[in-house]
Amino acid sequence: MSIMRSRISHRTVIVLAVALLALFVPAESRAAAPDRLSQLQRDADALRDDGITGVSVRLETPHGVWTVRSGVGDLSTGQPVATDGYVRIGSTTKTFVAAVLLQLAGKGRLSLDDTVDTWLPGLVRGHGHGNDGHRVTLRQLLQHTSGLPDYIGDVVPDLSAAGYLANRWTTYTSRQRVALAMKHQPSFAPGAGWEYSNTNYVLLGMVIKAVTGHSWEYEVRARILHPLRLTRTLTPSNWPFLPGPHARDYQQFEPGGAMTDTTVAYLPFDADADGSMISTAADTSRFFTALVQGRLLPPTQQAEMQRTVEVPADRGFPPGTRDGLGLFWAPLSCGGGYWGHSGDGFGYLVWPATTPDGRTIVTVSLHSRPGDESSATRQIQDVTALVDRALCSAR
């Protein structure tokens, strides 16, 4: 569900007093509020105890909004994690991009069955007829069934603290990212499998420009951010800094190694339609609520977005995960499931999850990532357990 899973985790992917804040608790929920807050805090603390430097969780239900924090937002000063601070949302960007594509489809300006070559002629070529834009559709890009290779490995030549520091300012155009991907063989023929590839959404950003004459960032702002008044959601492109307030992000590049401050974006993969946006938990929640409640898409396109395919069990996603068009579905232990799309990069992870009616949504933000795969897997299990308890307890 996230950039770093496809980028890094195939190769790898502190403590202060806890602060918690009940933002609004109406009378009818006062009895449940202490238990809910207590469980949220325990789950946030469990993530801290599992090695995360800073954790923030925001839960919205019909009965109120709760925010808890754990750990610290700055290892050098011990400052607490900012309340609803700015965060990089990584691959959660893809859901915004998918919503714009589907809006354009609803207006008849493109078809999901258009091929890539319809809008970007000659761009997807390589390895003989292996990578062929005549055979890949926009739907396959949206759903990661294109088989196109991922460019990410090519822009991370040195997975180390020194490599991050040396390469984080390097910029690429979308066309350059696609060209890097085309050097590799496809994973499978278009439509014949499923494999998460960031290249898919770089191409979709380019398609938006070809259809509208505007950048994907412009269209996201005009079609989503402004109508929903998401004033704290940004499309920074190659601007590498987070606005304040924010927690600092830390990446451990090797097992047991030091934590490297990675708050500055890694521009080789933090600057395109596959994962460049910045937001807050409150804004992210408002977006997903509007999306699943049908306030952004016509009914036909809403149904298309939520038509899912199975995600293979060996791809690092929670068991039972299914992929729609820029939106993932995962089951809950109490029955049913939730919609969302996580995102991560060097030193950060955000995990928004909403019930199908959009009335309950939890967003988990982590401000460090470990250097070994077993710790990364365990921490993701902690996150999914938190999400499951939060959404099930709100029923």
Q: Which residues pair with 259 in a beta bridge?
A: 252
Check if 237 is active-site.
Answer: no
Which residue pairs from 72-80 have beta carbons closer than 8 angstroms and sit at least 24 positions apart in sequence? 72/14, 72/15, 72/16, 73/246, 73/247, 73/248, 73/367, 74/247, 74/248, 75/14, 75/248, 75/250, 75/259, 75/261, 78/16, 80/16, 80/19
CB 103 within 8 A of CB 220: no
Candidate list 6, 56, 70, 91, residue with the active-site label: 91
In order of 349, 367, 389, the CA distances from 250 in angstroms are 11, 6, 27
Closest CA to 145 of 81, 212, 196: 196
Taking the C-alpha atoms of residue 391 and residue 376, their distance in angstroms, rounded to an integer, is 23
Q: Measure the CA–CA gap between 61 and 395, rounded to whole angstroms.
A: 9
3-state SS class at 160: coil
Residue 59: closest CA among 77, 32, 86, 91 = 32
Query: What whole-number distance in Å separates Cα of residue 48 and Cα of residue 40?
Result: 12
For the chain, the farthest-separated pair of C-alpha atoms sits apart, in whole angstroms, at 66
Catalytic residue numbers read 91
